[in-house]
Structure 1
Amino acid sequence: MSTFLEYIAEDILRKYGSDLSRVAVVFPNKRASLFLNSQLARLSDKPIWSPAYMTISDLFREYGKLKVADPIKLVCDLYKSFVTITGSNESLDHFYSWGQLLLADFDDLDKNMANADKVFANLRDIHEYDDVSHLTDEQREAIKRFFRNFSDDQDTILKQRFLNIWSKIGAIYNDFNERLAKQGLAYEGALYRQVAENLHPSATTYETYLFVGFNLVQPVEQCVFRYLQEQGKAHFYWDFDKSYMHDNESGFYIKRLMADFPNEFDVEDDAIYNQYAKAKEIHYVSSTTENAQARFVSQWLRGNGRIEAGSKTAVVLCNEALLPAVVHCIPDEVEKVNITTGYPLAQSPVASLITLLCELRLLGYDPQRNYFRKRYLDAVLRHPYMAQLDEDDVRGLLEEKTALLEWMRTIILHIARCIHDDDPLFQECLFRCYTLLNRLQALVESGDLTVDDNTLQRLMNQLIQSTSVPFHGEPIEGIQIMGVLETRNLDFEHVLLLSCNEGNMPRGVNDTSFIPYTIRDANGMTTIDHKVAIYSYYFHRLLQRASDITILYNNSTTDGKAGEMSRFMLQMMVEDNQHQIHFNAIQTPAAIMRSNPPVIRMEKKKQLGFLTPTAINTYMRCQLRYYYKYECGLLEPEEDMEETIDNRVFGNIFHEASQQLYERMLSRSHQIQKSDIEELLKNDSEIERVIDEAIQKELKVASLDTKRLNGLQIINRQVLIHYLRQLLQLDHELAPFSIIGLETDVRDTFQTPHISTVIGGRIDRLDRIVKDGMERIRVIDYKTGGGNVKWLADVDAIFKQESLANHSDYYLQTFLYAALVKKKYPEVPVSPALLFIQHSAGKDYDPTLCFGREPITDVGPNISRFMELLRTTVDDMFNADIPYQPTEQRERCTYCPYRLLCK
């Protein structure tokens, strides 16, 4: 197969020789120039002077006296004109999408060289219509949002309000163009029109202009074509196939254009223009998901010599959102690949970081208390980029209270300097994001962009969504992965079209505009008909020289609507009598619904540094949960503190405050005396002070102003003060007594046939009391929650599954700590205790654990059996012959954070 560009190269060399320095080749896009240059080099038998390559946009910008402003600047200036003319008080954020629509209308009007005064006069006279039926439901909804206060049946008000805008569009158009011209700027359509209306001989740089592969040529472009043609400088190469030049919309524009701008090739040359008639293998493949199509890419590439064909193989994405999935599905044996479609910046980690930073500043910062709320701060600190940085540096950057844009620019720049990652995608995404922030900052500093931070956030989101990161590579080598627009002028032997659904091919054929279809059509402006014809040409031109064609589409039903293949595919099925079309479907394996979670077998550790009762209890409740948490290291998500104080934080504050209070009493004496407690109970300020210090420490704030606490925090503070007083009153009945330790670590070596480790943990309080004439040591675990423990019958019950619902894990932990303490104090009775603060006000409250109804005043008699059962349990945990299995108590799965992993 000879490609269209090969024929072009041969013709150029034959007509213009090897010195092409005065020749300019103009394409609709840039991609084709690289392939043409390669063909010229291949076909020439001697060194040649390459021609100049440019796009039609480059040509206009070269001739124009104005500079095309960037899209953000254009919408900002259009907003100023809109406000000036209408006197509207709409915000820029509210106007932005309307501004883009209005700008597109102006651009289209100028590129079609429509009479602006006539078009806008037609709009002023739109009252001749009896209704607004030409508007789509989406347009009506958008208008209602714009005017805010419509109800569904207010067509008259809707029309009246919309007419108020329509009647002033002409004035907005003129003011906008004047505003830009004063700055030496224009939007693209205005620049094109200015060039087309002011052409003169001195404007042309080259002796010959070759226009290659155009389809729809707008009136402004036709003006340039005609002007250069009249000077004998323009020549035209049209790319088409005879198969769609009769009774097919694909050839509609080329037929008309060739009448005015004759083709350099003989249109009857079948070698060039009758390629679709040659033998072709055509497959239509249906798929139930988009991702299944992406996975099909590797299978397709491995067949029929497609990998070996290199740049003659193309994967074309009708839905460019498939790109990340397709990239991951390229087989390992593909050595070279060229990706012409940019990677969506919105799908990069830096985009998610921008979102988190905005949320931190706009939602997570409390200006009254001058601190970041934990939920939002933690989300930023856990981000993959931030997690690689020094936390102190990050916190320092976050606490800088500069303007939002400058603040984010500083953070992105710090990441770029400190994370040494050679991944080009990481670097490009970071650079592209930094460039966007810089551009916005420049617009803010120049006064072009005046918005609050909330509007700025939404504007950034829009920009990120519309920005892509280009891939670097050698365009003329390797398998080509591209969007539909990049295929213009290029030919391939093997073509795979993905997601060729109605809505993707043709794409975006709605007619959303301020200018109704009837007025657009009457004034020669672009309509929905033009867009369909353009995409029809792209579709058929791509297939005309290919011999191996596979087209995929999604046939799944979404929101009650079945996926439809493109109208162009249906058209081929009806009209193509030359080729047989084969129909296939991607067989997606049915999801395996497991009624039981997995059973995991693996080698287990022989040695472990430290084993806690929490880990043992987790294993007893569900072995899979233990595996995910302790073997895989998948941390359970922390509860959000948000505006209130959650149970975990509440408990931490109570532990911290009680420890501080009792340590201060112990600093005066080794024993806690009744008089010490009485003095504290009379001194509310001391109790409040330790509570406030504990809150400040737990919430990680520099200072705590209780007057700025919110309602829930005030309530929690009062409850904590009450609990601490309750503890003091309970201890007042016991005094005098000794405290052996507060927040005391206990541990001991522990060995079984399968594991050698250290076992233990932290005791909230270890004290020595005399009660009912008997001295004993208590191992106390504070509990600030509202639960209670049902007494177990005996030691064996601690290790039984049916006892876990009764908080037997509390027993295991406290009993283990008591056993370790007993080893240190063998001559003194040691009792395990759970002190539930909420219930401690009851008469004769005793926190000592019980077997049956008997308090365990000494663990000594039960230690032997407890340790025997503990060793058996721990040995099973580390026995490789025993797999990790799910709990049989499936109700526990409802609150397990790993339930999605094990199904």
Structure 2
Amino acid sequence: MKSFICEVLEKLQNSGNSISEMVFVLPSKRAGAYLLKELSEIVTQPAFAPKVLSIEEFTEEISGLQAIDNTISLFEFYEAYKRITPAEEKEDFETFITWAQSLIHDFNEIDRYLIDYRPFFDYLSGIQDIKHWYLQDEKTELIQRYLKFWKKLPDFYEELRERLLKKGKGYQGLIYRKAAENVTNYLVNNNTAHIFIGFNALNSAEQHIFQQFLEDGQSQVFWDIDRVFYEDLVHSAGMFMRDYFSNWNYYQQKPFQEQANLFSNSKKMEIIGIPKNIGQAKYLGEILQQIPKEELENTAIILGEEELLLPTLNSLPPSITELNITMGYPVKNAPVNALFEALFQLHSQEQSQYYYKDVVSILSHPSMESMLGESAQVFIQKLRKENIVYFGYELIAAHFKDPEHQKVIRAAFQPKKQTVTDFLKDVQQLIFSLKTILKEQEDKLALEFLYHYHTLFNKLSSLNAQYDHIQTVKSLHGFFRELVATENLDFQGRPFQGLQLMGMLESRALDFETVIITGLNEGTLPAGKSDSSFIPYDLKTEYGLPTYREKDAVYTYHFYRILQRAKKVYLLYNTEADGLNSGEKSRFITQLEVEKQPAHDLLQKVISPKVTIKPQELHQVEKTEAMMAKIKSLAVSGFSPSALTTYIRNPLDFYRQYILGVREQDEMEETVAFNTLGTVVHDSLEAFYKPLEGQFLSEEILLGFMGRADAEVARQFANTYSKAPMNRGKNLLIAEVAKRYLHNFLKFELDRVKNGDEIQILQIETNLKTAVAIESLDFPVYIRGKVDRFEAVNGLPLVIDYKTGRVENSKVTVENWEAITTDYDKYSKSFQILTYLSLLALDKDFTFPSEAGIISFKNLKSGLLKFEKKEPGSRKKDSLITTETIQDFQLELKKLIVEICDPEIPFVEKEIKTAYGSF
């Protein structure tokens, strides 16, 4: 295959002119590098290399202006805006940039297309006046200010233009306009032949420049357009060139170059639908395995989305030994970027205290942990243990004692008082501290990323010193994100050897025999409608400004041009509709299908990953000697009702929690968790009732409790949750719920006393432990528990368990004794209170019959929910618990304990029914 650039060079060489004396202008620097490579292969004797420029470099040279980026354009624009805007009308910089970026984009387009800005802006202002018509004779102040803004656009443009020209600088559009104005003088002073290669969509300034060079007679323009697209009058790939050849004066007098006829040649094309973007990357690796090694040199991968770069690199087969990447790795994806984002998040807040999540996200970052060691995690655990949600810098500083650690902590957390200079200085301090650690670790890649951030923050410091627009860290954050989005870490390699990996725009003027294109979905290739502009569509059309139609035509040309000389083409698209732009294959693919050339071998297929269907099985764990030793240890210390009900619910949970000791890590409670609410209520009642053991309740005692209830709840929240006041947000509501629970319960108690019940408090929150005689086990077994409340009501013993959740009466009724140790949902509450009663029943002073029940704070209107036994098939219930009742329960309890302690019975996962089925 002979590339387009090679064809052009051969024509020039055969013309007899010296290539060394020519100036070559190409769409990109990469295309220029390929031109020099091709030239080195066709020259037969030593020669000087010609001058090769990208179009951006060429226009800078003609205009005499230095290009500035979008960030500096914004800063300069704000200076211009302040100079011509009255003080009472000025907006701050943060508000200004919300509309200024779009306006600079429009200025750029107006200049690139050489539009007379005065009538254009008058037209735009008139449109806005018509759009905002109103019935009142007089315009409101808001309307007047709105229309005044549109009328000032030409003043903004002029002031910015003059300000930049005085400094010899310009944004891209201004450089193009100035180059178009200077091209005649440039040609007078420069008689060198200029060769323009591989261009397609030219703006008005470029068209003017090209035509001037053509009419000068020494220069040439080489277009790369296939006859198929040129002769098809509706095909977007040839839209721009058909316009040039019809309207340029030069082509009215001289015939246009002969079009190539390459696209209709024999080609093997595979259109492949693959689920998910990651699927495309994985399958791309399989395609590369099929390509012979000698063909990889002339193979290009074109990624529709830059996010596919890393998955693609990770999917390359071992046969790929040489690879050249032209896209660059986005610096914003570097791990250290998360640290800087977290620092911005922390210091952008205006609160006097820090939110714990902001601090934890910084301290838990690997970069901070490498500088602070274990002390970072120790501090995080302290926050979780003490449940400190909001705190000041002093708390952090007091924890870290090491001088080097203190330096890092000061840089990261010392309040910046919204001072941008302090923030930038401290960030650079962190960068230098981190650099020392990374050098010791010899982490070269991380150091390279860190260097990019060092230069980026240097640029921000320079801008901050030169301009005084950025007043807050929040504003600085916006510019940081804008700058980091444009930074790439360039991959080093041999640019012309091995497999080529690039984006669509990097493929301009280049040719390959095998082409693999990913991301061929609507919204990606082509990009679709995404226009940030103040200029309406109709006005753009009237003045010849590009709309989404022209932008689609640009991508259409690039897509078809890369296919022209290719022999094998793989087109990959995402079949999954899991996003706004996913699932619908690109119109380019549909166009290839509809307009299929006779010589094209078009194969379509959909690829699905191989998924092995593994039957879902319940896990089980065989008991080992070590496990049995742990079980015996638990038996000696005592099985608690919670442990036993955990086994009933799911033996595998019992294994994890009580055998392995794996528990959920305590997390910070931003709002009071439900179990914390229960603890507060329990502890408040214990504080009230514990001193009353042995005494009878009276109205006077309960009224005293009611008067102290609110203060007691506050005290318990301070002990259990946080010492910070519960005076805002959800915590305030939960604190009120706790108070309501306590008041409602005390009213319930008061009603019992008023109704004549003699209530004697016997035990409150008493820890009990007692042996269980099991003949089949050769080691002692105990059960233990903490009974919430044991009292005597009119002489009858009563065990009470508090539940802050909702419990219905059906949950404390037993009909089938065998199910009490197997049906967790139905009988777990009954199992718990009967276990507590069993602990008490072994006391020699305990008498039967007795009662047991639950007080549900969410169902307090139902009163005491007494345990009841019910004969199968009978409606009759009995709440009195006799010796026989306890014996029936203890028989099932012993069976359960024997099962737990049996070395031959494994821990088998129990199928758990959920709202969505079983799992």
Decide whether the 8 Å contact of 1:598 with 1:886 is kept in 2. Answer: no
In 1: Cα distance, 2:322 partner to 2:50 partner: 28
In 2: Cα distance, 1:761 partner to 1:381 partner: 44
Q: Give the aligned residue type for 2:295.
A: A
Is 1:598–2:609 an aligned residue pair?
A: no
- CA deviations on 1:560-598 (whole Å, 9 max, x unpaired) are 99976555555555656452342413154899999xx92
Q: Who wins on radius of gyration, i.e. which is larger?
A: 2
The offset of 1:488, in angstroms, is 0.9
Decide whether the 8 Å contact of 2:745 with 2:857 is kept in 1. Answer: no
Is 1:303–2:302 an aligned residue pair?
A: no
Q: Give the aligned residue type for 2:105.
A: A
In 2: Cα distance, 1:164 partner to 1:617 partner: 74
Pair 448,869 (structure 1): closer, same or farther in 2 beyond 3 Å: same
Q: Give the aligned residue type for 1:58.
A: E
In 2: Cα distance, 1:44 partner to 1:616 partner: 88
The offset of 1:5, in angstroms, is 4.6
Is 1:715–2:736 an aligned residue pair?
A: yes
Per the alignment, residue 372 of structure 1 pairs with 355
The offset of 1:796, in angstroms, is 3.1
Decide whether the 8 Å contact of 1:337 with 1:477 is kept in 2. Answer: yes
In 1: Cα distance, 2:289 partner to 2:460 partner: 46
Per the alignment, residue 637 of structure 2 pairs with none
In 2: Cα distance, 1:408 partner to 1:631 partner: 52
Per the alignment, residue 299 of structure 2 pairs with 313
Pair 674,10 (structure 1): closer, same or farther in 2 beyond 3 Å: farther
Gaps of 5+ in 2: 384-395, 397-408, 635-639, 871-877
In 2: Cα distance, 1:183 partner to 1:759 partner: 90
Per the alignment, residue 190 of structure 1 pairs with 174
Decide whether the 8 Å contact of 1:796 with 1:869 is kept in 2. Answer: no
Which of these residues, 820, 841, 847, is aligned with residue 798 of structure 1? 820
Q: Secondary structure at the match of 2:199?
A: coil
In 2: Cα distance, 1:52 partner to 1:812 partner: 90
The offset of 1:70, in angstroms, is 3.4
1:537-548 equivalences in 2 (<5 Å):
537-548=557-568
Is 1:104–2:125 an aligned residue pair?
A: no
Per the alignment, residue 388 of structure 2 pairs with none
Per the alignment, residue 2 of structure 1 pairs with 2
Which of these residues, 493, 496, 507, is aligned with residue 527 of structure 2? 507
Q: Identify which range, 568-577 or 630-639, moves more after superposition.
A: 630-639
Pair 767,434 (structure 1): closer, same or farther in 2 beyond 3 Å: farther
In 1: Cα distance, 2:116 partner to 2:67 partner: 22
Is 1:402–2:416 an aligned residue pair?
A: yes
Q: Give the aligned residue type for 2:676.
A: V
The offset of 1:104, in angstroms, is 1.7
Decide whether the 8 Å contact of 1:284 with 1:581 is kept in 2. Answer: no
Pair 658,378 (structure 1): closer, same or farther in 2 beyond 3 Å: farther
1:716-865 equivalences in 2 (<5 Å):
716=737, 718-719=739-740, 722=743, 734=760, 741=767, 763-764=785-786, 782-787=802-807, 789-793=811-815, 796-801=818-823, 804-806=824-826, 808-812=827-831, 836=855, 838=857, 853-855=879-881, 862-863=889-890, 865=892
- CA deviations on 1:512-564 (whole Å, 9 max, x unpaired) are 64445665566554455543443232122101111001334567789999976
Is 1:117–2:139 an aligned residue pair?
A: no
Q: Give the aligned residue type for 1:298.
A: G
Decide whether the 8 Å contact of 2:66 with 2:170 is kept in 1. Answer: yes
Pair 677,159 (structure 1): closer, same or farther in 2 beyond 3 Å: closer
Per the alignment, residue 718 of structure 2 pairs with 696
Decide whether the 8 Å contact of 1:31 with 1:486 is kept in 2. Answer: yes
Which of these residues, 458, 471, 481, is aligned with residue 501 of structure 2? 481
Decide whether the 8 Å contact of 1:623 with 1:886 is kept in 2. Answer: no
In the superposition, the TM-score normalised over structure 2's length comes to: 0.69
In 1: Cα distance, 2:231 partner to 2:318 partner: 44
In the superposition, the TM-score normalised over structure 1's length comes to: 0.70
In 2: Cα distance, 1:407 partner to 1:469 partner: 24
Q: Identify which range, 484-493 or 281-290, moves more after superposition.
A: 281-290
The offset of 1:419, in angstroms, is 9.2
Q: Identify which range, 307-316 or 846-855, moves more after superposition.
A: 846-855
Per the alignment, residue 29 of structure 2 pairs with 30
Per the alignment, residue 215 of structure 1 pairs with 200
Q: Secondary structure at the match of 1:99?
A: helix
The offset of 1:487, in angstroms, is 0.9
In 2: Cα distance, 1:620 partner to 1:32 partner: 72
Per the alignment, residue 170 of structure 1 pairs with 154
In 2: Cα distance, 1:467 partner to 1:718 partner: 56
Decide whether the 8 Å contact of 2:620 with 2:652 is kept in 1. Answer: no
Decide whether the 8 Å contact of 1:687 with 1:724 is kept in 2. Answer: no
Per the alignment, residue 868 of structure 1 pairs with 895
Q: Secondary structure at the match of 2:825?
A: helix
Pair 481,770 (structure 1): closer, same or farther in 2 beyond 3 Å: same
1:201-600 equivalences in 2 (<5 Å):
211-221=196-206, 238-247=223-232, 250-251=237-238, 253=240, 273-285=260-272, 293-305=280-292, 309-320=295-306, 322-323=308-309, 326-327=312-313, 329-331=315-317, 333-341=319-327, 370=353, 372=355, 390-391=376-377, 396=396, 400-402=414-416, 413=430, 449-450=469-470, 469-470=488-489, 472-474=491-493, 475-508=495-528, 513-516=533-536, 520=540, 523=543, 525-528=545-548, 530-553=550-573, 566-569=586-589, 571-572=591-592, 577-588=597-608, 598-600=616-618
1:61-76 equivalences in 2 (<5 Å):
61=60, 67-75=66-74
Gaps of 5+ in 1: 133-146
Pair 319,868 (structure 1): closer, same or farther in 2 beyond 3 Å: same
The offset of 1:173, in angstroms, is 0.8
Aligned length: 839
The offset of 1:706, in angstroms, is 5.5
Decide whether the 8 Å contact of 2:264 with 2:600 is kept in 1. Answer: no
Q: Identify which range, 185-194 or 421-430, moves more after superposition.
A: 421-430
Q: Secondary structure at the match of 1:120?
A: helix
Root-mean-square deviation (CA), in Å? 6.5
Per the alignment, residue 911 of structure 2 pairs with 886
Q: Give the aligned residue type for 2:109.
A: D
Q: Secondary structure at the match of 1:302?
A: helix
Pair 19,113 (structure 1): closer, same or farther in 2 beyond 3 Å: closer
Q: Give the aligned residue type for 1:866.
A: L
Pair 799,172 (structure 1): closer, same or farther in 2 beyond 3 Å: same
In 1: Cα distance, 2:734 partner to 2:310 partner: 45
In 2: Cα distance, 1:707 partner to 1:322 partner: 45
Decide whether the 8 Å contact of 2:304 with 2:518 is kept in 1. Answer: yes
The offset of 1:434, in angstroms, is 7.8
Q: Give the aligned residue type for 2:514.
A: H
In 2: Cα distance, 1:411 partner to 1:818 partner: 63
Query: Identity of aligned pairs, percent?
Result: 24
The offset of 1:167, in angstroms, is 3.2
The offset of 1:227, in angstroms, is 8.0
The offset of 1:212, in angstroms, is 4.0
Q: Give the aligned residue type for 2:54.
A: T
Higher helix share: 2
Pair 216,767 (structure 1): closer, same or farther in 2 beyond 3 Å: closer
Pair 627,402 (structure 1): closer, same or farther in 2 beyond 3 Å: farther
Q: Secondary structure at the match of 1:402?
A: coil
Q: Give the aligned residue type for 1:886.
A: E
In 2: Cα distance, 1:441 partner to 1:717 partner: 52
- CA deviations on 1:656-690 (whole Å, 9 max, x unpaired) are 65677899x79xxxx88789999998598987666
Pair 860,386 (structure 1): closer, same or farther in 2 beyond 3 Å: farther
Pair 102,302 (structure 1): closer, same or farther in 2 beyond 3 Å: same
In 2: Cα distance, 1:352 partner to 1:856 partner: 65
Per the alignment, residue 144 of structure 1 pairs with none
In 2: Cα distance, 1:839 partner to 1:98 partner: 54
Pair 786,517 (structure 1): closer, same or farther in 2 beyond 3 Å: closer
In 2: Cα distance, 1:315 partner to 1:711 partner: 58
Decide whether the 8 Å contact of 1:63 with 1:203 is kept in 2. Answer: no
Q: Give the aligned residue type for 2:880.
A: E
In 2: Cα distance, 1:447 partner to 1:758 partner: 80
